[in-house]
Chain A
Amino acid sequence: MWKLKRFLGQFKKHLILGPLFKWIEAVLELLVPLVMAKIIDDGVAAGDSGYVLWMGGLLVLIAAVSLGCALVCQYYASIASQGTGTILRREMFAKVGTLSHAELDVFGPHSLITRITNDVNQLQLAVAMLIRLVVRAPFLAIGAVVMAFTIDVQLSLIFVIAFPLIVLVLYLVMSRSVPFFQVMQKKLDRISLLTRENLEGARVIRAFSKQASEQRRFAEASDDVADTAVRVGRLSALLNPLTMLIMNAAIIAILWFGGFQVDTGRLTQGEIVALVNYMNQILLALTVVANLVVIFTKASASAARVNQVLEMKPSVREEQTAPVSLEESAPFLSFENVSFTYPGSAEPALSGISFALNRGETLGIIGGTGSGKSTLANLIPRFYDATSGHIRIGGRDVRSFPFAQLRQLVSVVPQKAAVISGTIAQNLRWRDEDASDGDLWAALKTAQAADFVEKLPYRLESRVEQGGKNFSGGQKQRLTIARALVHSPALLILDDSSSALDFATDAALRRALKQETAGMTVVLISQRASAVRSADRILVLDNGEPAGLGTHEELLRTCPVYREICLSQLTAEEVSK
């Protein structure tokens, strides 16, 4: 948790003054029972109403000053805690922006999201509590003991015994019940897993008529949740009665032994009342301390999770920021004996890949699932860096480009058609913020998306819901293709990105790409032989290794893997057509 200390730096003033004011309030609060003892012993005993009123006025004054101090503290606390949270969120989000695919794979999106939202909230709460209670509660608890000592050392021994006893009970009950909350969370996760399964598998479950057994599974999980909750509840329900028991036992002891002290005249009645009041204060303060311990335990777990992200070093780094000029004579895209192994994996995902592609040419990549097609595509824009070998664009190693230039040169249409909530126009302007409507329509037209966008009531300004829920799979895919075409990229990578299109649209798309974007180099990944067969060159991948490179006709003659793929999808007659 201390590693995150630096984020508190700019709130030094708040972190010192906040607790200071809170401390003043606590000191004043400790004085109150003493003043009350004075009222009883000096006022009531002497029958002096004037004195009583004076002291009453003092109590009101103490209350007012306390209030003032508390307000100052709360104000500082709110600024420092929310401020820290805001800075943390900003840093986390910016950090995530610098991570490369390898690190993103390590965390997974779901975990990153909780870290930026829930974990930061937890830390924010901890900062607020740090200012508001960390000084106050222990001070009140210990202060009450000290004040008891100033009244009577012998009776204070009761405090010395009761204090650790209460701490012990708090510790025993909480150390046993708090870990259960994680267990509970796990069991609740199972409830949500089963619900999700049953929603997603509604058709299969009904097809097999398995409703009864699914309900049994769910009832078991719910029973488990209820049983655990009752068990934890039974345990934590001990906390209040037990601490109250100890405190009142202590009060009984104070009254009994105090009786002797008063009898011998060493103590007054008012002082006994004060001791009883201090005892009450200790319990309240210690309960707060116990809750603080829980908050800080949670916060330190959150801090560790936040730190993991902040300390993560991106594996793909920008070597320099000055733009690089391309060599006109070199092939536009070339792979020289490129291999790649995913971090933590023993087997290479790609090995010995070499090819060269001239400006304006199309490379088709075909192969089965898991043959390394997408991996190859990910290496070109440096989502991952090749483990060995060289990838060059315009004769320059991709590692020598600044990120911004590389992203302008290379445009990717990913396999999963993802659009962002907003308008269609906003989605299309991802590559170029200043693209004109005309540019957008041109891209839509090439992507075969113009016809359906034109039919939408607000055309380019139509809303896209989160995850593009209001568009069909095919429409989303065409939008993502259009998005990649805006601000004409020099190299377009289509990663199996027409899988949701029917054959007619797919063919029309490929035709349009050929005609409208002359001069653009294209890498086209597909499972369909019909999609790659007209490419200038086709790379056949089998288990991460090149199985063939050439034109359709060449490969049919020389590459058995390619022939097999073609024959499984087309008739022999169609293959040779």
Chain B
Amino acid sequence: MSVKKFDRDVLRRLLRYTRPYTAFLVLAMLSALISVLLTLLIPVLIGDAVDCILEAGQVDFTALARTLVFIGAAVAGSAVFQWLLAYFTNLITYRTVKDLRVQLFHKLHTVPLKYIDQTAHGDFISRVVNDIDQVSDGLLQGFTQLFTGVVTILGTLVFMLAANVWVALLVFVLTPLSLFVASFIAKNTYRHFRGQTAIQGELSGYVEEMVANQKLVRSFGYEARAAAHFEEINTRLYAEGQKAQFFSSLSNPCTRFVNAIVYAAVGVAGAIAAISGVMSVGQISMFLSYANQYTKPFNEITGIITQLQTAFASAQRVFAVMDEPAEEPDPENPAVLPHCAGEIGLSHVRFSYDPARPLIEDLNLAVKPGSRIDIVGPTGCGKTTLINLLMRFYEVDGGSIRVDGVDTRAMSRSGLRSLFGMVLQESWLYSGTVRDNIAYGRPDATMEEVTAAAKAAHADSFIRRLPDGYSTIIAEDGGNLSQGQKQLLCIARVMLAGPPMLILDEATSNIDTRTEILVQRAFEKMMEGRTSFIVAHRLSTIREADLILVMNQGRIIEQGRHEELLEKRGFYYHLYNSQFAHDRQEA
């Protein structure tokens, strides 16, 4: 088994994480050494004991008693140290893995948002949960079995050589046979296993897609075609799975066979040695139990190496995330705005998600304190991008954004973001109580303040109807609330935080029309004196805006008040009228 350089590097890096637990590591190694040596001593002692019981009238009871006491002591010692070994390795592994997991999670908060937007969430979660679990299994097995395995092999060799060189050599020559058989089987199995895993993945993917869309399947009467496709994959899975299972299940009987041959050879050789007087029956019994045990560590090590390789591959996936470049650090002495007026200026802002496709080139804008800015335009025109830049979720490629004349890059990110209250189309709540979710931005808020915010967001009445009122735990993914109710909670969250500026990105898209009117009123009250940015694709709410930005393909192509823009008869005019175009034709 060649350990590639890649594996060595990963291993070295992984071991760095065990450094805080070096003391435990040393204790674990020591326990392993003692327990293995004592375990190996037991067959020798049993052999000695057997030699005390030769035949009728020839039993040396004093020697037997003494040997049995030794056996008892060795067994007890071995048991204690075996347990200690397991205990220490558990401790090292799970603590190490915990540190690794926490660091990986920490990375989630330091990478640029671009990374999160581009990463499949399932993949990231799988790294945090499954990959780290693999690493933990690998470490656990590696620490316990790899080390004890090596010690066992070496120890057995020494003990056997000490007892009888020739029989020891016989065992020594024959055991590689079992390794050879095992690796031959493993190689052949691997091919089928890989095939099986690939098809199993294909099958799971298909099941996932079809079952998740089962309602669609039914509405299109697609059941039979789906079943046929599934059966085709299923049949292939059977063919490959049956072979994989059969070949892999060969390894146990085959190594057992080799073991039996070694056992027979040792028995015969030992017996003949005993006949010629160079060995005792007790030593035969010792050799027999060694012969039984000797191949075990070899097989285990083969297994561990495969497992370690899986663990290294997983560790590599974890490290890949850790190596992602982090966001630029905040300036050392960030500018602070204790009394933010809400004046915003964008000058010559340049930005694109993909360098090959320029999006915003030279965007200029001056926003007076307390004004309400509505952003409109067709899907994908850059409305949300503007918000990403204001909040510094993404950094501008050129130009600058200033709040009250201060470049946002001179502030800390948290300082800048605390100036804005944000409600997005996708309402996000965490799995805590309703109260804690509303108080997310101000955990120290009193219950009165929380209810006041909920009332302002028209959420109070439905919250009171929930089984535990404000203490109701929001189920995973907010399952026990409707989309609209979730959005109302997000609105209450911002109302409680009361920031100097507001960003509403389709904030009422999931709320039914009548509640929307009420929430809209609450927003209007909140927006008084606060600079607000509003993205809406319902043009009906836009008429009160102080300034409408019409965006198309990353550029602000028109700006002004509603009536001014209509008079221009430009892009906005067409956009606004398109919603009635159909009806015009009819009329």
Main secondary structure of the interface of B (DSSP, over half): helix
A97 interface contact, C-beta 8 A: yes
Q: By the criterion CB–CB under 8 Å, are B237 and A86 in contact?
A: yes
Chain A CB within 8 A of B570 CB: no
Separation of A25 and B65 alpha carbons in the complex (Å): 38
In the assembled complex, B4 has its CB within 8 A of some CB on chain A: no
A196-214 to B contact mask, C-beta < 8 Å, 1/0: 1111111111111111011
Distance in angstroms between the alpha carbons of A203 and B113 in the assembled complex: 8
Check B241 against A407 for contact (C-beta < 8 Å). Answer: no
* Stretch in A108-116, A293-301, A386-394, A435-443 touching the partner: A108-116
Return 20 A-B CB contacts under 8 Å, by A number.
A44-B271, A59-B267, A74-B253, A117-B207, A198-B105, A206-B417, A208-B441, A233-B94, A244-B75, A259-B59, A262-B54, A263-B56, A263-B61, A272-B53, A276-B46, A371-B512, A472-B380, A503-B578, A530-B582, A534-B583
Selected contact of A60 from candidates B230, B261, B275, CB within 8 Å: B261
| Residues on the A chain within 8 Å of B23, using CB | none
Residues of chain A in range 60-104 having any CB-CB distance to chain B below 8 Å: 60, 62-64, 66-67, 70-71, 74-75, 77-79, 81-83, 85-86, 89-90, 93-94, 96-101, 104
Tell me whether A369 and B511 are in contact (CB under 8 A).
yes
> Which residue of chain A has its CB nearest to the CB of B421?
A207
Q: Which residue of B lies closest to A277 (CB)?
A: B288
Chain A to chain B: the 5 pairs with minimum beta-carbon distance, closest first: A368-B512, A265-B56, A237-B86, A70-B253, A233-B90
Inter-subunit contact A202/B53 (CB<8 Å)? no
CB distance from A568 to the nearest CB of B (A): 5
Binary contact track B12-50/A, C-beta < 8 Å → 1, others 0 = 000000000000000000000000000000100010011
Of B86, B129, B231, B284, which is within 8 A of A191 by CB?
Answer: B129
| Chain B proximity of A227: nearest CB distance (Å) | 8
Beta-carbon contact of B49 and A255 below 8 Å: yes
Size of A's binding interface in residues, CB under 8 A? 162
Chain A residue nearest in CB terms to B265: A56
B304 interface hit (Cβ, 8 Å): no
Assembled-state Cα–Cα distance A404/B220 (Å):
9
In the complex, the answer to whether B55 meets A268 with C-beta atoms within 8 Å is yes
Given contacts A67-B257, A86-B241, 17 further A-B contacts (CB under 8 A): A32-B260, A44-B275, A45-B55, A59-B268, A60-B264, A78-B243, A93-B230, A93-B234, A101-B215, A203-B428, A207-B417, A213-B443, A215-B106, A223-B98, A259-B61, A262-B53, A418-B213
A228-246 Cβ-contact flags toward B at 8 Å (1 or 0): 0110011001101110110
- Select which of A265, A411, A577 is within 8 A of B580 by beta carbon: A577
Q: Taking CB as reference atom, which chain B residue is nearest A431?
A: B220
- Give A194 to B540 CA distance when docked, in angstroms: 38
Q: Once bound together, how far apart are the Cα atoms of A277 and B290, in whole Å? A: 12
Minimal Cβ-Cβ distance residue in A for B412: A209
**Distance A128 CA – B483 CA, assembled complex (angstroms):** 47
CB <8 Å contact, B393 and A534: no
Tell yes or no: B125 within 8 A of A by CB. yes
Residue pair A98, B211 in contact (C-beta under 8 Å)? no
Q: Are B260 and A215 in contact (CB under 8 A)?
A: no
List A contacts of B72 (CB < 8 A). Answer: 248-249, 252
Task: Give B83's nearest chain A residue, CB to CB.
Answer: A241
Bound CA–CA A95/B579 (angstroms): 45
Min C-beta distance of B509 to chain A, whole Å: 8
A192 near B125 with CB under 8 A, answer: yes
B223 within 8 A of A: yes
A200 to B426, CA, bound (A): 9
Question: Is A307 at the interface (CB under 8 A from chain B)?
Answer: no
| Binary contact readout B558-573 vs A (1 if CB under 8 angstroms, 0 otherwise) | 0000000000000000
B467 within 8 A of A: no
**Residues of chain A within 8 A of B346, CB atoms compared:** none
Partner of A66, one of B95, B214, B237, B260: B260
Q: Which residues of B contact A47 (CB under 8 A)?
A: 275
Whether A280 lies near B513 (C-beta < 8 A) is no
Interface mask (B326-341 → A, CB under 8 Å = 1, otherwise 0): 0000000000000000
Q: Which of B226-262 contact A (CB under 8 A)?
A: 226-227, 230-231, 234-235, 237-238, 241-243, 245-246, 249-250, 252-254, 256-257, 260-261
A430 within 8 A of B: yes
B175 interface residue (CB < 8 Å to A): no
- Tell whether, in the assembled complex, residue B218 and residue A36 are in contact, meaning their CB atoms are under 8 Å apart: no
Chain A residues contacting B213 (CB-CB under 8 Å) are 418, 420
- Whether a CB of chain A sits under 8 angstroms from the CB of B116 is yes
Is A2's CB within 8 Å of the partner chain B? no
| Given A66-B257, A195-B124, A431-B220: A209 touches B418 (CB 8 Å cut-off) | yes
Q: How far is the CA of A530 from the CA of B72 in the complex (A)?
A: 90
Q: Within residues 300 to 357 of chain A, which ones have a CB less than 8 A from any CB in chain B?
A: none
- Comparing A142-150, A153-161, A174-182, A504-512, the segment that makes contact with chain B is A504-512
Bound-complex Cα distance A218 to B119 (A): 20
- Whether A59 lies near B264 (C-beta < 8 A) is yes
Contacts known (A36-B267, A63-B260, A211-B109); A244 close to B225, Cβ less than 8 A: no
Give Cα A462–Cα B94 distance, bound, in whole angstroms.
Answer: 47
Question: A499's closest neighbor in chain B, by CB?
Answer: B509
> A237, B50: Cβ atoms under 8 Å?
no
Q: CA–CA, A466 to B206, complex, Å?
A: 10
- Please tell me if the beta carbons of A56 and B116 are within 8 angstroms of each other in the complex: no
Interchain CA distance A237-B223 in the complex, whole Å: 50
Question: Who on chain A is nearest to B230 by CB?
Answer: A93
- CA of A265 to CA of B230, assembled, Å: 70
A527 touches B583 (CB 8 A): no
Give the contacting residue for A93; candidates B121, B207, B264, B581; CB below 8 A.
B207
